[in-house]
Structure 1
């Protein structure tokens, strides 16, 4: 069992949690939730022994094996399959001992080691790893590819698979769905529900938490608060607690006012002085109750569109792609006011390409894209944050869009997105990714779009902000097209699904559960095809070489962009590590060094924000690279 007693942890002078108690029982699956920056990742570092508590203690059983996802993946020549099998350290240890025993000709030890390997199921380890990689989206042919041949996003999937292969007593997963599409998320849910050890995961995916978790630990107001049940059950329990807290506060305030009224009336009257003094003491003894705290100061809505032409846009036998590469063919869509469409499809099938075609960022390679007069598109792209002027403030962004609006009206609008007071006039550059995402949404909403195109809009948003976005989208009166791996967002905001697969865009007759079944059928069909191909041994080398040459030529600029971001991230992480070492110097916290400490903390905050933005840019570049790579591979295999 994991226990925390009187636990306090500070980072850079900020208290993350203090005087907290916690118990996590073996084989429970715990969701760790809370606002960004509340200390979730730091709690993981405590459990791994990478941080020390400031007061109190956190105890993890000493014999427990802990596994978590590596953040870096070296460019190895080792195959993807072997890299993942490395996660099973007991197997690798026995394998090394067996190799040594065979060299020494120690027959007795060889027999003993074979027995031990059999006892841990070592002889089915390759099928187990292969099945795991297939669930995470890898094809059978990719398993023999070297690790260095994969892009960063796919390497993160390899790291996740390696962590899942570990025979862990405690598995720590920090946002494991960030690099996954919906089909891989479905697989991971099923896997984690069968995981025999203790699981603690950080996630902003409500459906994922609901499916996997048996308990929730919520970090709020510098406390660790435990709840039994999944995320939806946690919300219900917490809402009841908040209601009780508010009721107690109101009762205490009423009693306080009643007693104070008596004191104010009679405190200077001699015959009532003792009673007044008695009531003053009663007021002092009343328990201090906190009023209900608002969950968030962010509450926005979409404006009613100024026009709703019908239809808004139509595609007629349109083709979409890049250069000579056709990704989508014969697209037929008719978007009218009230359209609320979610796009489904495997990673790289062309969902983002379709969104770009609808937005006008891509011109049809053939066919027609017809738009109505009065069409106004609001497009939230995966790279949307890069379009912001880092030197400008939120207020200046809006003033550039509407020079006739009063400053107060613009400030009132920005206040709904959390940009109030001086925050509205600060530069965008030091803002976090979540703050930039809110600003990008604000700029889109202000334009009163009648067609809203959203491509992964929740990547930077925590759970409370996702809920705010869902509420706003439910009231939106224009047409809506959404690409998202957030199933709660899809379930609650769209009325119909379209499937993007095999270069086609077709209505999908079903819901997300039906899509899950479709994915399973596709995976089974793919496995059957790959096995058949493996048995026949037929392979068109000329075609393969052509595809590889085309891949290298087309992907070089995208790979260079990904590499640039990775190098920048590495440099920032090194600088942050140096700052953390500086902050361990106790003399920094003495009064005479306050100025130096403030400078270091400010630099740490600035670098952390820069790192978060770079990581998002890296993720977006990775997505574009993967989509382009899979599109070319599909074309080559057609």
Structure 2
């Protein structure tokens, strides 16, 4: 055939002729169903004929006819294959079974519930999925170039087929679709008997080309609560997202849920949204109702049939399979304690600050912060085998953090939480995982306080061992260099060479990670500085938010404001800085007073398209690049970080930029709304130290117990329209909240 093609088309590339023969031969061996109207050879004939015509460059009718005859001759030879022209068929062609087989009745196969009566062997589907690494933008560009070239040619019967990757829609899965894809439901007793410990060796995680983890091991013992800590930008959130999407190979019988984004608001009541979060419970209840109706229909059809009839046997077999599936569903619903679902969901919502009335509000009526709470409530309600929490305290007030801490202490499954709240980690974590240097270090049976002490001891020991070895190596090397070629000392030199080779190679310990904040000195002002007297405010005149607020801030004030979300804490701060006007009362300020305000959503004030240095030049002009970089360095933004686009920085790094900008205003009073959000533990320590050394006044709204305890000397509670001084510290306030919550729980139980 190849010789005939070359005779017909003398200048043809041998690769094209070989490809044509191989294509036709492959098509001749394809399976052909009996009812198929067209053989694969028919399609191959048209394709190869058009290809050879194009390769010849001669589009005359005569040449086209000669090439088509040549291809048809070869196809006829392949199609017959010595069987009188009969098409090849696979020896194992599919056959229809005499009777249906209920796979779900086979108890040795794990059933992933879809439609009733179907079964999937999860062990066979547990292989790691390989996702496409193709850059779609580059692929589209290449496809446009190829198509433009093809359009210049006059080709008959040939249509260029673009890459199918371009036709694949971008993933936009709903919550239910993602939940069911990540957490396949397994019925029967097999999944319950499997270990839920997680041990994955040699994992690599990267994002945007940056390596987060390299050949490290992930070990999570079932029932333990792990605190994941590490400096800002190290990749903790990236690791959680990789786990939640099973990009790290975690067995499918272990359910996973990640609280990362707020839920989408709609008309669903908050309580129902929490109940619907357990997708498999909802699906199982629907399947239970469906199968019950099917069984009732079978029973009605079965009545009146003789036991030995063919239809009766068929119906009995179907009923047996449905009974087995229904039994598995009942067992799973019982395991989920489905009958207690509504009361448990209501209890979780109440603990997170949702009153009985607010639990019936549509989810679209809640703000972003409250929707984040709903997302947390949904995760706690689902009670997955592995619960992933990313900075949960950022969206909660002190009462809700207290509830969450108490709730997690009795959580029956595994928890992996990223948090920079020392007090929260001390109360919740049973173990600490330290992420650094592209690896994970484990501190078992350690809360945060004991971890910190152990980590420092490990670092000092590693540094001491490294320095001692360097001294020893230098001593050996000096002897070797001096006597290597001395005949009398050559044996001793060789001995030292071998000793040097046997010594383990120690890597230099990491430099100690330190951050320092520094606020500028301020000139003294004579009191009064800021006074609020009988202040009242309401966004709606019919529903006042605050009434009779009296607050006095001086240069030596260290005031912390706490209270439930929505009580008006941020409103108090905005009234104080003049961003809001009170409906009644008086707010007076010193005429030369400068106030520095750190907003909870400070990122909104930054230009993400420019660098920190560029933003400062634009917003606070008058200094050189070097001066801006030096100023950023005082807040932990060092090296080239200040020249990177702000959108590339982590949340903690953006917070440091905001603090650096704040200090450029040279304020007398710092008014801070949730200043600890996104900061790592070292940065929070640095901020606490800087605030204590600051010569001006500090007024902050915060949920971080450690910062309130380290900085604030006065605690005020904002609740029920009042702002009143609390007679005690933050620990006493938490005890009071816990006691009130326990009393409310007892009252609800009765």
TM score, norm. by length of structure 2: 0.62
Aligned-residue RMSD, C-alpha: 3.7
Is the Cα contact below 8 Å between 1:306 and 1:448 reproduced in 2?
no
Superposed CA deviations along residues 361-406 of structure 1, whole A, max 9, x for unmatched, are: 2233332222225433221112333334556654455567877766
Instruction: For 1:493 and 1:475, locate their aligned partners in 2 and report how far apart those are by CA, in whole Å.
Output: 10
Match of 1:370 in 2: 588
| Aligned-partner Cα distance in 1 for 2:259–2:470 | 50
Q: Deviations over 1:210-246 (max 9, x none)?
A: 2111111222111121111122222111111101011
Q: Where does residue 153 of structure 2 map in the other structure? A: none
Runs of at least 5 residues in structure 1 that lack an aligned partner in the other structure: 53-57, 533-638
Higher relative contact order (CA 8 A, sep 6+): 1
1: CA distance, partners of 2:380 / 2:636: 39
- Shift of residue 124, structure 1, vs aligned partner: 2.8
More displaced stretch, 353-362 vs 380-389: 380-389
Relative to structure 1, the CA distance from residue 352 to residue 17 in structure 2 (aligned partners, 3 Å threshold; closer, same or farther) is same
Matched, 1:498 2:716: yes
1:452 aligns with 2:670: yes
| CA shift digits 1:134-165 (9 cap, x unpaired) | 11111112223333443443333223222222
1:249, 1:289 within 8 Å by CA — same for their partners in 2? yes
Task: Give the 5 Å matches for 1:170-569.
Answer: 170-228=386-444, 229-262=446-479, 279=496, 282-283=499-500, 286-296=503-513, 298-322=515-539, 324=541, 326-389=544-607, 393-395=611-613, 408-425=626-643, 428=646, 430-520=648-738
Q: What residue number does 1:140 align with?
A: 356
Which has more radius of gyration? 2
* Secondary structure class of the residue paired with 2:660: helix
CA spacing shift, 1:417–1:292, aligned 2, 3 Å: farther
Preserved contact between residue 270 and residue 359 of structure 2 (Cα < 8 Å): yes
Query: Is the contact made by 1:298 and 1:415 (CA closer than 8 Å) also made in structure 2?
Result: no
- Change beyond 3 A, Cα 1:292–1:493: farther
Deviation of 1:341 after TM superposition, in Å, equals 1.0
Distance between the aligned counterparts of 1:120 and 1:390, measured in 2?
Answer: 45
Q: Matches of 1:70 and 1:265 in 2, distance apart?
A: 63
Structure 1 CA distance for aligned equivalents of residues 606 and 337 of structure 2:
54
C-alpha distance in 1 between matches for 2:501 and 2:529? 65
Query: Kindly tell me: are residues 301 and 391 of structure 1, through their superposed partners in 2, closer, same or farther at Cα, counting changes over 3 Å?
Result: same
- Local SS of the residue matching 1:137: coil
**What is the rounded CA distance, in whole Å, between the counterparts of 1:37 and 1:514 in structure 2?**
35
Distance 2:411 2:261 in 1: 22
CA contact (8 A) 2:599 2:672 kept: yes
Task: Look up the match of 1:539.
Answer: none
Residues 305 and 260 of structure 1, relative CA distance in 2, 3 Å threshold = farther
TM-score, normalization by structure 1: 0.73
Q: Is 2:299 the counterpart of 1:82?
A: no
Change (3 A) 1:252 1:416: farther
Is contact 1:394-1:419 (8 Å) kept?
no
Distance (Å, rounded) in 1 between the aligned partners of 2:245 and 2:621: 55
- Greater fraction of residues in helix: 1
- For structure 2, the 5+ residue unaligned runs are 1-196, 300-318
TM superposition shift of 1:19: 2.3
